Amino acid sequence: MLIRRLFGGLFFLFLLCSCIALFVLHSLYFIFRTASQTEKTETKTVHDDQLFIPALIICNRMPFSQDGLNNVNVNLRQDSALRYLLEWTNPSLREAADYTAPAADFMNQGQNTVLQYITQSTRNQTIQNMQYQCQSMTRNSWFSTYVPTHPGVDVYLREDGSDVMRMATELENPIRLMDKRGVRLQMKKTKKADIRRTSCGYALGDARRSDEHAFKHNDTNYLMCNMMLVMRYCTCHPLMAELLHYDPAAYRDFLLRVSQTNVCSVDAYDNCARRYIDLTRVENWDEDIPKDLPGYDDAKKCRNDNHRSCLITSYPGTIEGYDLPEEYRTTQDYVSRLVLEYSTMRTTEILVSKDPNIYELLSFIGYNMALWFTVGHILWSMFWYATGLCCPKRHSNRIVPEIRRKRSVSSPEPIVVEHRPSQSEEPGAGDT
């Protein structure tokens, strides 16, 4: 009996340690998957009764018109000044595959001319006067002999064009319209929600409401925060800090810093400011911030403290290009055509989440605990039943004394005596 109990205790201890070890090892697999920041994508399509044409954001790759140049100083109409203005107002131009860098002396000459005739007090208004207006899109399409042909127009499709800050950082994959060419886009609507961040919720509807809440409470200042880092570590401000429209009452401190610093030149932007501004672009949101970046901790704080869009709507599709008819190709004006049509009435919804997310992780650990508890209980029950068959308990035939209750003599049970009268006692028996 003692050996059976000793062996049972050792087996129970071994079984307990084994189940705990297997539970920990099994749970570590899911914990390591979560720590490795893997992600999963869920895609589904839903039918919509009606689809609207998206907002068109038209960006002329040649932003200055001839009639606009007639309103500024004649020295700003030189090729070197216009080339410098083109790269100054469009920093992404240098990222194009067909970009050709002009000579350094040519750019220096343009920089000196621009900084001489466009002062900080009149810079914003002067640049706006030089840009294309709606009525001048098809007249005087090129501004100088330095660009013999029109570089085209970039068209971006957006679900909503009211948020200027989102347009400054989230425009991607443009449709390029070239002169005397037409483009037909058979598109479909796609909604992509990134719920890897806890602030975006756990579904596509949560992501949309999170963006609306951030826009309503003015929490979408990621670009502005990084521009303030540019002013601190590059001692200049990007030109876009002057061109974007801000509420002077709400952003008084930001506008004050802009007025107290010089604008970044093209070279200063490339050498310093570009690294900060590129972090705010939608394609770089998930990239690690370079640790050699001056103000690394501040840049990380800007990313963590400011809301980035959770739900992004895009319109991918098949692009078909074609030549315009002959009557359009004989004019000197810039002419192009864009045709948009939906190829399907179904909307694609994409949900990007962690793999596994926190709920799945807790569920896996809970199921894992229940699994090994059940396995251990089954093995322990089988062991106890098997030892009961092999080593049954011995039953002894001991004589147990029987205890009987004795009756007390002093208190005997009462005896009931029935008294019946005799015949002699009956009434009238002695009367004669």
- Write out pLDDT tens, residues 354-374: 877 777 778 888 888 888 888
State how far the alpha carbon of 389 is from the alpha carbons of 73, 339, 345, 382, 386, in Å: 108, 85, 71, 11, 5
Which stretches in the chain have pLDDT values below 70?
A: 1-4, 36, 132-148, 388-432
283 lies in some domain: yes
Kindly state whether residues 225 and 301 are assigned to the same domain: yes
Kindly state whether residues 48 and 160 are assigned to the same domain: yes
184 lies in some domain: yes
Q: Work out the percent of the chain whose per-residue pLDDT is above 70.
A: 84
Kindly state whether residues 9 and 139 are assigned to the same domain: no
CA distance 373 to 16: 9
Which structural domain range is residue 255 located in? 221-306
Kindly state whether residues 232 and 259 are assigned to the same domain: yes
Residue 394 confidence (pLDDT): 56
Kindly state whether residues 46 and 163 are assigned to the same domain: yes
Kindly state whether residues 233 and 376 are assigned to the same domain: no
How many domains, in total, are found in the chain? 4
Q: What is the pLDDT of residues 93-116, one digit of tens each?
A: 888 887 888 899 999 999 999 888
pTM (predicted TM-score): 0.73
Kindly state whether residues 237 and 342 are assigned to the same domain: no
Residue 389 confidence (pLDDT): 67
252 lies in some domain: yes
CA distance 143 to 131: 11
Residue 405 confidence (pLDDT): 56
Kindly state whether residues 120 and 80 are assigned to the same domain: yes
CA distance 432 to 429: 8
Question: Of 116, 151, 186, which closes a domain?
Answer: 151
Kindly state whether residues 252 and 274 are assigned to the same domain: yes
Kindly state whether residues 44 and 170 are assigned to the same domain: yes
Residue 320 confidence (pLDDT): 95
Question: Of 238, 273, 306, which closes a domain?
Answer: 306
DSSP state of 168: H
Q: What is the pLDDT of residues 174-201, one digit of tens each?
A: 999 998 999 999 999 999 999 888 889 8
Can you tell me whether residue 337 is helix, strand or coil? Answer: strand
Residue 208 confidence (pLDDT): 93
411 lies in some domain: no
Residue 210 confidence (pLDDT): 94
Residue 399 confidence (pLDDT): 54
Kindly state whether residues 165 and 286 are assigned to the same domain: no
Kindly state whether residues 52 and 165 are assigned to the same domain: yes
Q: What is the pLDDT of residues 402-432, one digit of tens each?
A: 655 555 555 555 555 555 555 545 454 444 3
Identify which of 156, 149, 194, 152 has the alpha carbon closest to the alpha carbon of residue 172: 156
Residue 431 confidence (pLDDT): 47
